[in-house]
Amino acid sequence: MGKTFSKPEALSDAHTHYCPGCTHGIAHRLVAEVIDELGIRGRTVGIAPVGCAVMAYNYFSCDFQEAAHGRAPAMATGMKRVRPDLMVFTYQGDGDLASIGMGEIIHAANRGEKFTTIFINNAIYGMTGGQMAPTTMPGQRATTAPMGRDVEKTGMPIRMCELLSSLATPGYVERQTLLKPKYINKAKKAIKKAFEYQEANKCFSFVELVSTCPTNWGMTPQDALKWAEETLLPYYPLGEFKSPE
């Protein structure tokens, strides 16, 4: 009987530091599978964010740069403009992308930079220990919102796909999630589409993945999946928001 399942070549042998139940591992694997399927590992450069995925450079087996907090889209711009033949992706969390890096992501998307962004939205700061993110839900507790997010003082959660798809520049913007196998298959398709648009030099491509953070949400992995489906998905609807076609 032949081998039916193996680790993608684009993933390294390193053990990740991610918490049990965290969805980063799935997201990494999907990106790696797409890199393998497109046969682009030798000309792919990833950019790690600041946050839980800061050490993503250890987990992929392609070239990697590590950015400052939120600046990955600017680095990707610099890289892609001087080496358009490289396949470039940023991998960013919600604190990184939607807070400190808001300026960089919007302008990169609006310039139509030909790279791909994988956006992990788990509605909280992970690495720094559970502080409120721009994506934190109303009433959701965080270490800097101990009574729950008060939208009177902090505003409503920012929906990045909706925001980016309002730009007039053509682009590919899709939101999927990693909460269940049926969603994971769709997420993989979206990631592949994003890389294919980049390969065709078509447009900026952006895939948001609604994810979990059992540790900082204070839940078991199973409860986290349930909470995300009941609370996050109604506010962060799945689907394709924008396509260059």
Partner 1 sequence: MAKVLMKGNEAIGEAAIRAGCLNYFAYPITPQSEVAEYLAKRLPEAGGTFVQGESEVAVGYMIFGAAACGERVMTTSSSPGVSLMSEAISYIAGARCPAVFVNIMRGGPGLGGILPSQGDYFQATKGGGHGDYHMLVMAPDGVQEAVEMTMQAFPLAEKYRGPVMIMGDGMIGQMMEPVEFPEDLYVPPTNKDEWATNGMDTRKSDTKNIVKSLYLDPTVLNDHNLLLKSQYDRMKEEEVRFENYNTDGDYQALIVSYGTMSRVCKTAIDEMKAQGLEIGMVRPKTLFPFPEKAIHDAASKPGCKVVVSIEMSMGQMVEDVERVVKGKTPVQWYGQCGGEVPTPQKVMEHIQSLLNS
Q: Residue 197 has which token pair?
A: 């648009």
User: Side chain identity at 31, as an amino acid letter?
Assistant: V
State the SS3 of the chain: CCCCCCCCCCECCCCCCCCCCCCHHHHHHHHHHHHHHHCCHHHEEEEECCCHHHHHHHHECCEEEECCCCCHHHHHHHHHHHCCCCEEEEEEEHHHHHHHCHHHHHHHHHHCCCCEEEEEECCCCCCCCCCCCCCCCECCCECCECCCECHHHHCCCCCHHHHHHCCCCCEEEEEEECCCHHHHHHHHHHHHHHHHHHHCCCCEEEEEEECCCHHHHCCCHHHHHHHHHHHHHHHCCCEEEECCC
**One of 35, 52, 76, 184 touching partner 1 (CB under 8 A):** 76
Q: Is 7 in the site for partner 1 (CB under 8 A)?
A: no
- The answer to whether 229 contacts partner 1 (rule: CB under 8 A) is no
- Rounded least distance, CB 86 to partner 1, Å: 5
By beta-carbon proximity to partner 1, the closer residue of 119 and 227 is: 119
Scanning 40-48, 120-128, 181-189, 216-224 for contacts with partner 1 by CB under 8 A, the matching segment is 40-48
Binding to partner 1 by residue 168, rule CB under 8 A?
Answer: no
Query: Quick one: 2 or 39, whose CB is closer to partner 1?
Result: 39
Site for partner 1 in 91-130 (CB under 8 A): 103-104, 107, 111
Q: Which is nearer to partner 1, 64 or 183 (CB)?
A: 64
**Paired strand residues for 66:** 48
Q: C-beta of 3: minimal distance to partner 1 in Å?
A: 21
Whether the CB-CB separation of 185 and 196 falls below 8 Å is answered with: no
In the complex, what is the shortest distance from the CB of residue 168 to partner 1, in angstroms, rounded to a whole number? 16
At its nearest, how many Å lie between partner 1 and the CB of residue 211?
22
Q: Which stretch binds partner 1 (CB under 8 A): 76-84, 132-140, 167-175, 203-211?
A: 76-84
Binding mask 51-70 for partner 1 (x = CB under 8 A): ---xx-x--xxxxxxxxx--
Cβ distance to partner 1 smaller for residue 90 or 215:
90
- Residues at the site binding partner 1, with contacts judged by CB under 8 A: 41-45, 47-48, 54-55, 57, 60-68, 71, 74-83, 85-86, 103-104, 107, 111
